[in-house]
Amino acid sequence: MSGELLTKSKIADALGTNPMRVTRFIERNKINAVKKEGKRELFKLTDFNALKKELDDPEAKKEAQSHAFSKDEYILTLKKQLEDQQEQFNKMLQAKDETIDSLKETIATSKHAYEDMKDQLAVKDDQISSLTKLTNNAQTLNLLDKPKKAQDTATTGAETSNERSSSDKKKDDSQNESSKKHWWQRFTRDSD
């Protein structure tokens, strides 16, 4: 039992004293708990050998009896401890409720942001669809214009060659005209 961890009340039972005396001994000798389980502090019984010696002393026994709590005082102490625990429990519940409310607000905000983002994605998809249609229409028009441009180029090329041939004809005509001049016109021109 000496290596076992015990609460203050169990130590008091083992030593044959009350829990308040054990508590005062802990405070006076500054004994630290080995382990804590929630609010309960656990101690080694071996840390209380000095208290056991004090209790074995006949004068200490008389003092312990004079400091002993009555059952009513002990019940009041326990009630006070229960009230303190209840108050801490209520504070913890309130904190949890506040956390739950905060999380609900965060979820609502996240849902709203999600819906907004969904709407924005729908608008983006519509824009992409519209741009795709416009691009397809532009490509279709471009393809329709290409044969027309080729046709226009061919027509323009023919007109240009016609213009050249008519200008060439004019040159030839003017040369022929100069050669068709009368002999005396040629003679006059040669003499000038």
Pick the CATH number of 1-68 from 1.20.272, 1.10.1660, 1.10.150, 3.40.50: 1.10.1660
Q: Edge to edge, what strands does the sheet with 40-44 contain?
A: 5-6, 40-44, 35-37
pLDDT tens-digit series, residues 127-174: 998 999 999 988 988 888 876 666 666 566 655 555 555 556 556 655
Q: So where are the chain's domains?
A: 1-68, 70-133
In order, the DSSP letters of 48-90 are GHHHHHHHHSHHHHHHHHHHPPPHHHHHHHHHHHHHHHHHHHH
Phi, psi dihedral angles at 39 (to 5 degrees): -90, -15
- What is the reported pTM? 0.32
Long-range contacts of 177-180 (CB under 8 A, 24+ apart): none
